[in-house]
Structure 1
Amino acid sequence: MKKITLLVFLSLSIFQTINIYSQSGWFWQNPYPQSNVLTSVQFASNNVVYSVGDWGTILKSTNAGLNWMCLYNDYLINFKTVYFLNENTGYVIGGTRASNYSDTAFIIKTTNGGTNWIILNIGFTGRLTSAYFLNVNTGYVIVNYYNNLPGKIIKTTNGGDSWVQFSVGNYGVIKKLTFVNYNTGFILSDSGIIKTNNGGVNWTFIKQDSLYYFNAILFINENTGYIGGNEGRVRKTINGGMNWDTLHAGSYSLNMFNIESFYFSDVNTGFAAGGYNQQYGYIYKTTNAGVNWNLFLYDTSYINSFSFINSNTGISVGFKGYIKYTNNGGINWLNLTHGVRNDIKSLYFINVNTGFAVGYWGLFMKTTNGGISWATKQYNNITTPNDVYFINNQTGFIAGDNQGNIGALYRTSNGGDNWDLLFSLYDKPIRSIFFINASTGFCNIGPDIYKTTNAGLNWMSKYPSGTTNIFTISFPNSNTGFAMGKNLLLKTTNTGESWTSIPMNATFVTFYSLCFINADIGYVVGHNSTNFIYSLYKTVNGGVNWTTINIPQAYNGYSAVNFINENSGWLCGINFIVKSTDGGSSWISQNPRKSDYISDIFALNDSIAYACSGIGAILKTTDGGNMMISNIKYINYVVPESYYLYQNYPNPFNPSTKIKFDIPSEARGQKLEVRLVIYDILGREITTLVNEQLKPGTYETEWNASNFSSGIYFYSIVTNGFTQTKKMVLLK
């Protein structure tokens, strides 16, 4: 679904309330609670904890971290900092857009414990990297830029209603800030330490030094502070930052340790957390004011942040979504997450309850309750499973690669408890398997196609003359089937007994995901090895002719296509899931919740579907993946009196522009079908930005035209009895 923003105009700012969705759109099923990178965590009280991270991740616990809930929202922002002043009131600061990693100045606020969030208009662009709030009204945020402009500090004294900008001088990237009271604060920059004694109005450069490799800063009072960085570097001041003594966290055998965060419970007892190479996490503890540091946690996941509610109870978060908990001052740490984190490659469900998944390093997963829980096993002899297929709840197959380049096919007759190797062949990768009934099935062995008529016990070669490896096989009925590979399309009309090659007007293209609805209508995903462009093709005459389908925006890295009927289907790839309800004519962007390559998608019907990805991610939807904009709650809005389509801005634009429109009160509180469509100068529809039901209000959406050429375009809004069109210019 294309992201739409509801605009509400108040005297000082533009606000927007975003609703938190429970089990709506796509939601996590493995691992628990999720596996996106977590960047910040904070105790709001003894029991309530919040954590944020990549791809709009907001987590909440109400029992000191033992259990977590995902507070779903529809904003693809890599959040950097969470700051709560009590259980209900808190702020989340965004750093970059998860979809394209561009800068975004994004701050949201909640006053009801995360149920709703208000987007605060700060009036500045840039990359927000750190924040510190003194109370519910007064806070500071760092704004940085990529174009060598000096960073700035913005401050609010009215809970984010308005912000004032302060310059701190041209001292390189400003990384972190901390305050010890309303007046005294410190900034860590690349060039040194910057200090204010008047609440941020003026800043003084007090320590000139190259601190490029330092990432963390904490002052426990006006005089005593610490900074930490790469290779376990720790420096300490006892005179308000004027002078710094060099300390060291940990033994020199672990000096690649990068410090990301500090916490001190008193002047003597403190912790330093971080990691190395995104794979290893460390927590060190000192009980003598930083003179000595002892290793208290060594882990396989980089630690970005931690928070303590007292000297004993703390939580750490980091890469792969890991969350660790201590209640004895860091002596022991309990893993609060569960579920596998191997990259998952393929999914298959035989009904709404029973499904299977396979992933790297011999991972096999099974659910019998619709994905609520997954039983997992690791088979060391199945190195890289490529595909999984089950005939029933007992008999199934895994096609994969064993020891790199040895193709292997495995069979189970007891629901996956044990697997028998049917055959393995050197340099013959097995990537696809498909059954048309309980007895008859097909698989590829390198460039060849094999067939079984006794549930996989024996296999016969039916296409032995192949010269290019086959990636995918699909049968829409018992007679008609298709197989595809590099520059190759094969078709059978006699249950796979013979195969003929069908020419396609696509050279240097490898086809690796295939879906046929019936003998005529099918879709295939391809990748051009010369220009690296991914394409989706469709046929309506059994593969005789193929047309290229336009996909909205600059999506890339297509991995899988899955249509369940002539109208409804999904396409997924790198950081995206899109859905069509009109046979591919238009597509609606959906939030995949995951900042990674979506490797496979499996739909049971128009509502229930599953997707899998890296770091063990299994996602599910029960509403077709739709997080409808009608779920947004409005605050203090004025309903427009008439329909209106505003001129896009900016115009001309490159590559993105915003389009705003009004839905009037004549809708009488009812939802209206609204479409917002883009046309080229010849009047051809090239993408649909909005195609859903909306309540009365003012909306805004954005069109990214990165993959379109310069020229004149038209955009039209179409509702019940109203149509309006305007012109815009893309100028690259």
Structure 2
Amino acid sequence: MKSTILRIGSFLSLLTIGIVFPARAQEGWQWQNPLPQGNDLLGVEAIDANTIIAVGRYGTSLRTTDAGTTWSRMDVTTNTDISLKSVLFLNSSTGWVVGSLGSIFYSSNGGKDWVSRNSPAGTRNLNALASGGGSVGFAVGDSGTIIRTTDGGLQWNSLASPATADLRSVFFPTSTIGYVAGDLGTLLKSTDAGAHWFNVPDTSATVRDFQSIYFRTRDTGWVSGSQGVILGTTTGGASWVRQFSGTSTTLLQITFNNTSVGFAVGGRVIVQTSNGGTTWLPAVLDTVNALRGISFSDVRNGWIVGDNGETKKTTDRGVTWTRLHENITFDLYSNIFIDVHRGWAVGAEGTIIHTIDGGNSWFRESTPVTKSLRSTFFVSATQGWAVGDSGTLLATADGITWSQTPVDSPAALSSVHFPDPLHGWAVGQRGTILRTTKPHRLEHCDFRPQFRYHFDSEDDRRRCALDRGR
């Protein structure tokens, strides 16, 4: 049976990161959040305005033919140890995917079916793809690896490389002129269709790990990388000028959709230029997820992918970007359902989410804390509790509005349970046990050195004090 690893941390009933589950739903588990899935996406290819391919960790591969309304899983590989890092289509039919462990995959029908190809890279990671025109393509990877196909991706052969650093990006603006960028300031150029490569000096004297390279013409191009670096050239790499991006975030991919308008993404940031890179303006595009790949099908329609399955879309030349799914991507640690329709989940940064339709949709509830919540319990559709770090205890009387209940203990609380609306227990660090018969009032007493007992009445406190004095 084919299998995939679901990177949970944001999925509700599967709370262990890295568990292996069946690719299909035969064994009863399906993604509910994030949608369409939650593994990190590392690369994206917009074949046209409606057809987009995205690939990522744990062999993740997705395809949409309706501009992102629905997504289907592609069976590029069943090996969940492989991270798929880059995808490229020469046309609507022929495409390639490369990734870790030297993996190469080929499709001849628009991504519906994939076959593995022999890789001259051995087990060295392949990080990026580029078209060399016609049936020619290139891939680059770790330890200076450069490989080429001349038959549309059926066969690949190694090329001599002057680099030893890991190579991150390759681009051919013409069938004969090509460029490669990589770690430790590596910049390479070929003028004979990739047969031979030579080092291009970085005249800007900016030694960075370069992550992406893009050329608009044979001589005009840009490279981006660590610490927010962007370099530009109009001389085919003979000289480079640093362009200030306004960010120190590593920029993982750079692209232009015309001669003036360009974008680079990395971390939670997008930087944009409208004047060919003379000035760049940074903006925070996501508050949670790192952004890793960007692709335009035309000057208007573009896509961004990132961590936790994040997918964004623009239809107005990159002026605005829209999340395809309003996913919750904070780590989630606990959930409870009181019936098949109504449930809650809690997690990092005070996150509480609620569903009333069996998990088909979730909405986030407002909470008065930012501490991680570790456990939740409900005795009815309205009455519930949540506990978490630093002695955090929250209560709700309507299932929506939450208030904080003071607890005389700083210990992190990891679990809460109520057998009925009036009797409850919470447990946590350093042997902490809390008990209540009045759920909005909890106090503690160090009854024994190795445990913490918590009482909710003055009589209990006095008894505790008497016992401590014995």
Fold equivalence (TM over 0.5)? yes
Q: Distance in 1 between matches of 2:71 and 2:2?
A: 28
Q: Deviations over 1:654-690 (max 9, x none)?
A: xxxxxxxxxxxxxxxxxxxxxxxxxxxxxxxxxxxxx
User: Is the alpha carbon distance of 1:463 and 1:469 closer, same or farther for their aligned partners in structure 2, counting shifts above 3 Å?
Assistant: closer
User: 2:79 maps to which residue?
Assistant: 75
SS of 1:432's partner is strand
Q: State the Cα distance separating 1:181 from its structure 2 match.
A: 3.2
Offset at residue 428 of structure 1 (A): 4.1
Indicate how the Cα distance of structure 1 residues 89 and 310 shifts in structure 2: closer, same or farther if over 3 A, else same: same
Query: Following the alignment from structure 1 to structure 2, what is the Cα–Cα distance between the partners of residues 444 and 258?
Result: 42
Aligned-partner Cα distance in 2 for 1:183–1:194: 14
Establish whether residue 293 from structure 1 lines up as the match of residue 293 from structure 2: no
Equivalent residue number for residue 253 of structure 2: 261
Shift in CA distance, 458/122, structure 1 to aligned 2, threshold 3 Å: same
The reply to whether residue 118 of structure 1 matches residue 115 of structure 2 is yes
Amino acid at match of 2:170: L
**Distance of 2:26 and 2:102 partners within structure 1:** 27
Richer in helix (by share)? 2
Matched position secondary structure for 2:158? strand
The aligned counterpart of 2:216 is 220
The ranges of structure 1 where at least 4 consecutive aligned residues each deviate by more than 6 angstroms after the TM superposition are: 1-4, 457-463
Q: Distance in 2 between matches of 1:233 and 1:207?
A: 16
1:86 pairs, out of 81, 91, 116, with 91
Correspondence 1:624-639 to 2 at 5 A: none
The match for 1:207 is 201
Alpha carbons 1:218, 1:263 under 8 Å: kept: yes
- The alignment status of 1:153 with 2:151, answered yes or no, reads no
Q: 8 Å contact 1:283–1:298 — kept in the other structure?
A: no
Q: Secondary structure at the match of 1:351?
A: coil
Structure 2 residue aligned with 1:198, among 184, 192, 195?
Answer: 192
CA deviation string 1:202-238 (max 9, x = no partner) = 2233436665333221222323222233444433333
The alpha carbon displacement at 1:178 in A equals 0.9
Distance across 1 between alignment mates of 2:220 and 2:411: 65
- Pairing of 1:363-442 with structure 2 (within 5 A): 363-381=351-369, 383-401=371-389, 405=390, 407-414=391-398, 416-419=399-402, 421=404, 423-436=406-419, 441-442=424-425
CA distance in 1, matches of 2:231, 2:403: 59
CA contact 1:65–1:315 (8 Å) conserved in 2: no
1:37 CA displacement: 3.0
| Aligned counterparts of 1:458 and 1:424: Cα–Cα separation in 2 | 8
SS at match of 1:263: strand
Shift of 1:421: 4.8
Measured in 2, the distance between the counterparts of 1:297 and 1:437 equals 46
Q: Deviations for 1:124-144, whole angstroms, at most 9, x for unmatched residues?
A: 221111111346843211131
Counterpart Cα distance in 2 of 1:206 and 1:411: 63
> For each residue in 1:251-299, what CA deviation from the matched residue of structure 2 results, as whole angstroms up to 9, or x when unmatched?
xxx2424433232334x32313134xx3x30221233x33343457655
**Is residue 225 of structure 2 the alignment partner of residue 229 of structure 1?**
yes
* Cα distance, 1:364 vs structure 2: 1.4
Identify the residue that residue 605 of structure 1 maps to in structure 2: none
Q: Equivalent residue of 1:361, what SS?
A: helix
Which stretch of the first structure deviates more once superposed, 217-226 or 66-75? 66-75
Between Structure 1 and Structure 2, how many residues are aligned?
427
Identity %: 26
| Residue 109 (structure 1) aligns with | 106
Within 5 Å, which residues of 2 pair with 1:553-592?
A: none
Kindly indicate whether the alpha-carbon contact (under 8 Å) linking 2:40 and 2:57 is maintained by their aligned counterparts in 1.
Answer: yes
Look up the match of 1:162: 155
Contact 1:313/1:328 (8 A) holds in 2? yes
Q: CA–CA distance in 1 between the matches of 2:350 and 2:326?
A: 18
Pairing 1:272–2:263 present:
yes
Structure 1, 443-452 or 381-390: larger mean CA deviation: 443-452
Contact 1:89–1:136 (CA under 8 A) maintained in structure 2 = no
Q: Is the counterpart of residue 244 in structure 1 residue 239 in structure 2? A: yes
- The whole-number CA distance in structure 1 between the counterparts of 2:233 and 2:170 is 16
Cα gap change, 1:170/1:419 in structure 2, threshold over 3 Å: closer, same or farther? closer
Measure the CA separation in 2 of the matches of 1:112 and 1:464: 71
Q: Any conservation in 2 of the 1:21–1:71 contact (CA below 8 Å)? A: no
Deviation per residue, 1:423-456 (Å, 9 max, x gap): 51133443222345676553337635455678x5
Paired residue for 2:427? 444
Say if 1:334 and 1:172 are closer, same or farther in 2 by CA, change over 3 A: same
Determine if contact 1:141/1:154 at 8 Å carries over to the other structure. yes
Q: Say if 1:283 and 1:320 are closer, same or farther in 2 by CA, change over 3 A.
A: farther
Distance across 1 between alignment mates of 2:134 and 2:26 = 30
- Give me the whole-angstrom Cα distance separating, in 2, the residues matched to 1:153 and 1:114: 24
Deviation at 1:367, TM superposition (A): 1.9
Secondary structure in 1 matching 2:380? coil
2:9 is aligned to none
Please state which structure has a larger fraction of its residues in strand: 1
Equivalent of residue 46 in structure 1, options 33, 49, 53: 49
Distance 1:237 1:167 in 2: 25
For residues 709-728 of structure 1, the aligned pairs below 5 Å read none
State the shift of 1:248 in Å.
1.0
Q: 1:222 to 1:457 in 2, by over 3 A?
A: closer
Q: Distance in 1 between matches of 2:446 and 2:164?
A: 67
Residue 349 of structure 2 corresponds to: 361
Q: Is the 8 A contact 2:433 2:452 kept in 1?
A: no
For residues 265 and 459 of structure 1, what CA distance do their matches in structure 2 show? 60
Q: Does the 8 Å contact 2:141/2:168 carry over to 1?
A: no
**Separation (CA, whole Å) in 2 of partners of 1:257 and 1:408:** 34
C-alpha distance in structure 2 between counterparts of 1:35 and 1:175, whole Å:
24
1:141 aligned partner, one-letter code: A
Between the aligned partners of 2:425 and 2:147, the Cα distance in structure 1 is 63
User: 3-state DSSP class of the match of 1:55?
Assistant: helix
Report the residue type matching 2:220 in the other structure: T
Contact 2:39 2:60 in 1 (8 A): yes
Q: CA 1:156–1:387 in structure 2 vs 1: closer, same or farther (change >3 Å)? A: same
Alpha-carbon distance, 1:176 to partner: 1.5
CA contact (8 A) 1:366 1:375 kept: yes
My pick for the range that moved more, 20-29 or 315-324, is 20-29
Partners in 1 of 2:319 and 2:364 — Cα distance?
A: 30
What aligned pairs does 1:432-581 form with structure 2 within 5 A after superposition? Answer: 432-436=415-419, 441-444=424-427, 447=431, 449-451=433-435, 456=439, 464-465=447-448, 467-468=450-451
CA separation of 1:375 and 1:333: change in aligned 2, threshold 3 A: closer
CA deviation after TM superposition for structure 1 residue 69, in Å: 4.5
**Amino acid paired to 1:259:** L
SS of corresponding position for 2:36: coil
User: In 1, Cα distance between the equivalents of 2:64 and 2:2?
Assistant: 30
In 2 relative to 1, CA 174–428 (structure 1 residues): closer, same or farther, beyond 3 Å? closer
- Contact preservation (8 Å) 1:260, 1:272: no
What is the CA–CA distance in structure 2 between the aligned matches of 1:265 and 1:421, rounded to whole Å? 50
8 Å contact 1:296–1:330 — kept in the other structure?
A: no
Alignment partner, residue 456 of structure 2 = none
Tell me the equivalent position of 1:182: 175
Equivalent AA in structure 1 for residue 192 of structure 2 = N
| Aligned-partner SS, 1:188 | strand
1:451, 1:462 within 8 Å by CA — same for their partners in 2?
no
Unaligned runs of 5+ in 2: 5-21, 454-470
Aligned partners of 2:271 and 2:283 also within 8 Å: yes
| Post-superposition CA distance 1:496-516 (Å, at most 9, x none) | xxxxxxxxxxxxxxxxxxxxx
Equivalent-residue separation in structure 2 for 1:234 and 1:386 (angstroms): 42
Give, in whole Å, the separation in 1 of the partners of 2:277 and 2:433. Answer: 66
Gaps of 5+ in 1: 5-19, 96-103, 146-150, 471-732
RMSD: 3.5
C-alpha distance in 2, partners of 1:295/1:463? 53
